[in-house]
Amino acid sequence: MIEQILFLLISSVAIFFFVKNIGKIRRNILLGKDIDLSDNKAERWKTMLKVAFGQTKMAARPVPFVLHFIVYAGFILINIEVLEIFIDGIFGTHRALSLFGPIYNLAIGFFEILAFGVLISCIIFLCRRYVVKLKRFQSLELKGFANQDATTILFIEIILMAALLKMNAFDQMIQAEEGTHIGSFPISQFIVPLYESFHFSIATLIVFERMCWWFHIIGIFLFMNYLPFSKHFHVILAFPNTYYSNLKAKGNLNNMASVTQEVKLMLDPRTQASEAYEAPTSFGVKDVTDLTWKNLMDAYSCTECGRCTSSCPQNFTGKLLSPRKIMMDTRDRLEEVGKNIDANKGTFVDDAKNLHSYVSEEELWACNTCNACVEACPININPMEIIVEMRRYKVMEQSSAPSSLNNMFSNLENNQAPWQFSPMDRANWTQEA
Amino acid sequence: MIEFKVKTIAEMTAAGEEADILFWVGCAGSFDERAQKITKAVAKILHAANIKFAILGTEEACTGDPAKRAGNEFLYQMLAMQNITTLNAYNIKKIVTACPHCFNTIKNEYPELGGSYEVLHHTTLINQLLNEGKIAIKGGAFKGKRITYHDSCYLGRANNIFEAPRSVIEKLDVELVEMTRSKANGLCCGAGGAQMFKDAEKGTKEVNNERIEDALETKSDIVAAACPFCMTMLRDGVKHHNKEQEVQVFDVAELIMTAMDL
């Protein structure tokens, strides 16, 4: 009974904080400008099923695809076992779902294999990061918290899976003493011999089994509450983020409606602005709140895998630009703005910083707008859009493009071509030999 | 040398004629010496296919793509609206262009400003003409050559046109070899996003030199391009590696022109 009360108490606290922090992320995302993505529901569901559930874009790199798929399947399916832990915790039962009999036994066995797979995959992931030292995990932007975050996640997963397997091992030993037979244990049966020589009493075994059980579920609660502060939040946001994917051609860069009205007024002075028309106050993206909520959701969905950066032509030719850093900067700045709002009773107080304090001009001007980063992202994040929006601010608000681009702009204005040729010579090629 | 008269849409309209299709030449195609050859190749192919085409001539202005990608939406929209006014005034319905940047902008971005047209990239149109038998190539010119095709970002990733140019090349009786990074994973030539008009940022390498290494690895005789900006970048890359004797860069239209003996 005490155990049940304790369980309810711990789970309530864990869920309370989890919901609270998700609420904060939701609030932060909604600080972005509105964009209507409520169209094409069928197409959106299809994209989500394919890209998030089906992980189709992961397949471009087969090794991490397989490893990640195991961890992903583990995450989804082992949650069924967590459901049982929940039921057992609340009602004080033991293996409540065993009423399903043979199916249950099969499932437990399958979960064990999966848990072992997750454990091995996470070890390989750690090796890729710290032994093989894959290039995309050595970037500058990962120094500090980002690396620590990745390592923490992998260790927690390894420990949780180990606890699950150990719990099953003790349970088997108890069952052997009691002569019962629930579940199948293709993996944890190999842990049993390690403890058999100690000849623990059944009471001790029950204590050990309970300890593993509590360790596992408290670990899960802690991990759950770590998510909102981690890149690992992608396990949740990958789904809505792919649902709200850009469905237009990748080459289609958004039209700035605020500019259209201004240009119309400029080109034809007879055009009358409607009474309700308010001249826009600023153009492009200065701070995260000028981005759309989808851009901000992208930032919270990013798990910093670096496929974008490793396919960026500018990055692998040694330039500063890294699409992953753009996403990390956006999230960092958004978190900062969110904390500012929290600290100032719900209103943002100017802190003399903006997104440009995080992303330098050198990064912004290097982009080829080639869409390689967009193509590479396994969950359809778009770093390029943020780059172009920030360029818009640089050009239209600060007039601070590189001088060569300013020359190109004046050529376009004067000659309708990016070079200094007379527009009257445009058809000369028809005459030349 | 073009042995027929390329008419402007103004001339055609004045003569009471209608064009089947408008050939959007683009700034590179109009002014860049190397790209002019691509322009002429396209014009010759259209002429050989008996297509009544016209150009805007001096009425054409930059689509605004480099301005838009560089963040100057004002300038982009001014150019776009000027072009849309011209195109709509001539009641243009169908456009072909040899520049993927013009293609992308007119096809995807003009509709929101009031300019909706059927837009074809020249590789798509050439593929159609070949399939329909409107033009025919004589085998032999490139027989046995190894050709690798470089995907332009704005044709490939941006608009999912991967097969049309390849299908055209395959009809040349050549060995089409793929670079390790191709199609959706193709590597940019380094020109897009207005990089063509500025120096690169500090780094260890120029993007075009990196890309041409992919092409050189295939040991091809010819690198085929489908974009005038890729053309410039790839040729500079070949020069950088001193491979001008071994490797030539041609636009898909030029290959077809040669194979058609035009």
Per-residue confidence (pLDDT) for residue A433, from 0 to 100: 56
Cα gap B58→B26, rounded to integer Å: 11
CATH number of domain containing B243: 3.40.50
Mutate to test the interface with A, among B201, B212, B229 (most CBs of A within 10 A): B201
B2 belongs to a structural domain = no
Return all residues near A422 (Cβ < 8 A) that are at least 6 apart.
A415
Tell me: do B176 and B105 sit in the same domain. no
Mean pLDDT of A307-323: 97
Mutate to test the interface with B, among A51, A255, A258, A264 (most CBs of B within 10 A): A255
Q: Which amino acid is at B85?
A: T
- pLDDT category at B138 given cuts 50, 70, 90 is confident
A:299-358 residues touching chain B, CB 8 A cutoff: 311, 313-314, 316-321
Q: By CA distance, what is B185's nearest residue in A?
A: A372
Tell me: do B16 and B98 sit in the same domain. yes
Percent of chain A with pLDDT over 90: 80
CA–CA min distance B262, chain A (Å): 15
B189 belongs to a structural domain = yes
Hey, are the CB atoms on B112 and A425 less than 8 Å from each other? no
Q: Pick from B127, B156, B181: which residue ends a domain?
A: B127
Cα gap A368→A382, rounded to integer Å: 14
Mutate to test the interface with B, among A307, A426, A431, A432 (most CBs of B within 10 A): A426
Q: By CA distance, what is B103's nearest residue in A?
A: A251
Kindly provide the ipTM of the predicted complex, given to two decimals. Answer: 0.96
Tell me: do B141 and B241 sit in the same domain. yes
Tokens 């107080």, located at residue: A349
Tokens 């579920």, located at residue: A217
Tell me: do B109 and B87 sit in the same domain. yes
Hey, are the CB atoms on B79 and A416 less than 8 Å from each other? yes
- At residue A133's C-alpha, the angle toward residues A130 and A137, to 5°, is 95
Is residue A159's pLDDT more than 70?
Answer: yes
Hey, are the CB atoms on A417 and B61 less than 8 Å from each other? yes
What is the per-residue pLDDT across B5-38, written as a single tens digit (0 to 9) for each?
999 999 999 999 999 999 999 999 999 999 999 9
In chain B, residues with a C-beta closer than 8 Å to the C-beta of A319 are 200-203
Tell me: do B151 and B242 sit in the same domain. yes
Is residue A276's pLDDT more than 90?
Answer: no
Tell me: do B194 and B92 sit in the same domain. no
| Domain architecture of chain A: domains with CATH | 2-30+61-243 (1.20.950), 258-400 (1.10.1060.10)
Hey, are the CB atoms on B153 and A404 less than 8 Å from each other? no
Hey, are the CB atoms on A413 and B75 less than 8 Å from each other? yes
- How many CB atoms within 10 Å of residue A344? 11
CATH number of domain containing B24: 3.40.50.1860
- pLDDT category at A281 given cuts 50, 70, 90 is confident
Cα gap B121→B226, rounded to integer Å: 9
What is the per-residue pLDDT across A59-110, written as a single tens digit (0 to 9) for each?
999 999 999 999 999 988 878 888 888 899 999 888 898 888 889 999 999 9
Using CB atoms, pick whichever of A396, A430, A433 lies closest to residue B73.
A396
Q: Pick from B105, B127, B149: which residue ends a domain?
A: B127
Tell me: do B96 and B204 sit in the same domain. no
- The predicted model scores a pTM of 0.95
B224 belongs to a structural domain = yes
Tell me: do B114 and B154 sit in the same domain. no
- In chain B, the number of structural domains is 2
Q: Pick from B127, B149, B182: which residue ends a domain?
A: B127
Instruction: Give the β-pairing of B21-24 and B53-54.
Output: parallel
What is the per-residue pLDDT across A120-141, written as a single tens digit (0 to 9) for each?
999 999 999 999 999 999 999 9
Instruction: Please state the three-class secondary structure of A69-111 as a single string.
Output: HHHHHHHHHHHHHHHHHHHHHHHCCCCHHHHHCHHHHHHHHHH
Tell me: do B202 and B255 sit in the same domain. yes
Helix (H, G, I), strand (E, B) or coil at B21: strand
Hey, are the CB atoms on A372 and B36 less than 8 Å from each other? no
Tell me: do B114 and B210 sit in the same domain. no
Residue B162 belongs to domain spanning: 137-259
Cα gap B196→B204, rounded to integer Å: 18
Smallest Cα–Cα separation from B238: which of B165, B148, B173? B148
A279 touches chain B (CB under 8 A): no
